[in-house]
Amino acid sequence: MQKHDLTDKEKQILQFLCKAKYATTKQISRLFFLNSVKDSTAIRRANLATKKLNNLGFISHLERRIGGVRAGSGSYIWTIKTAGLRALKQAGENLPISRKNKYEPTSHHLEHTLAITEIYVQLSEIARKNLNFTLDLFLFEPTCWRGWLDALGGQMRLKPDSFAEISLHDYVDSYFIEVDKSTESLNRIVNKCKQYIRYYNTGFEQKYNNVFPLVLWIAPDEKRKIAIQKRIQDELANFWELFQVVSLDEFAEFVAGGIDDGKTD
């Protein structure tokens, strides 16, 4: 098998796409070319890197773009290909090689996946700007999922959108993250919360990690945030302490400790 000379940055981009599944050129520029003088320079450098990886057959971009064709090359949505996975394995990465789906994802799935990618990008940006903030761990799906056996031996599974562990000053905060795009009914959100409660009651997470992560719902706007918050409080009041709802605009400030959760006097 031919061995390609990839820079550390190019390997990091492949590793990132392997975990995140989809990312825009702009998101890649914000993650890997942060030392650029201008945003346009970062985009240009990201374009050069993705072009090389694309020409090697390691990654490809979807037909659709964020913002349409007029948004330019920064709007490309990239995904890793089977050859890219092989290149990572050849470089020493321990991961399974699976055939990548040749079909484009649905709009709903793509928007949701990119939203999770955006959460990771934002957390990485906070970590670079705030010396008291460290992103110790971020797990995408399906690595962040939890599985256990119920009392009858049945296989149970909890599927968060992502998991994050953050060091802030002298404290460690952990989160199960759920990204809401206003596409699910409030009933489904409550049912998902009940899954977390069921898992919480097993005590498994607390046994192995000493604490149960805060379940952080990230809503697209204030109106949706209030609706989710009220529904959880109305139906799951006894377990309200397990959950927090923030808008996307509030997310960065909340995890950096700038917004009180409003649950204590």
CATH number assigned to the domain comprising residue 64: 1.10.10.10
84 is a domain residue: yes
Structurally, the chain folds into a number of domains equal to 2
d(CA 98, CA 189): 32
Task: Give how far Cα 117 sits from Cα of 48, 113, 156, 264, Å.
Answer: 21, 6, 26, 31
d(CA 231, CA 45): 45
Domain of 240: which CATH number?
3.40.1350
**Per-residue pLDDT tens digits for 43-59:** 999 999 999 999 999 99
Over residues 143-152, the mean pLDDT reads 90
Task: Give how far Cα 150 sits from Cα of 199, 209, 210, Å.
Answer: 10, 20, 21
What single-letter DSSP state applies at residue 151? T
Residue (of 28, 24, 21, 2) closest to 87 by Cα position = 2
Q: Domain check: are 98 and 219 in the same one? A: no
Residue (of 216, 210, 118) closest to 163 by Cα position = 216
**Per-residue pLDDT tens digits for 82-113:** 999 999 988 777 666 565 666 788 999 999 99
Per-residue confidence (pLDDT) for residue 3, from 0 to 100: 60
Q: Domain check: are 101 and 117 in the same one? A: no
User: Cβ atoms within 10 A of the Cβ of 173, count?
Assistant: 17
**Per-residue pLDDT tens digits for 152-204:** 888 999 999 999 999 998 899 999 999 999 999 999 999 999 999 999 999 99
Residue (of 110, 117, 54, 118) closest to 87 by Cα position = 54
79 is a domain residue: yes
Helical H segments across 33-185, by residue range: 39-55, 82-90, 107-129
Domain of 45? 8-105
What is the maximum alpha-carbon separation in the chain? Answer: 63
What single-letter DSSP state applies at residue 212? P
SS3 160: coil
Q: Domain check: are 91 and 130 in the same one? A: no
What single-letter DSSP state applies at residue 8? H
pTM given for the model:
0.91
Per-residue confidence (pLDDT) for residue 265, from 0 to 100: 45
Helix pair angle (25-32, 8-20), 10° resolution: 130
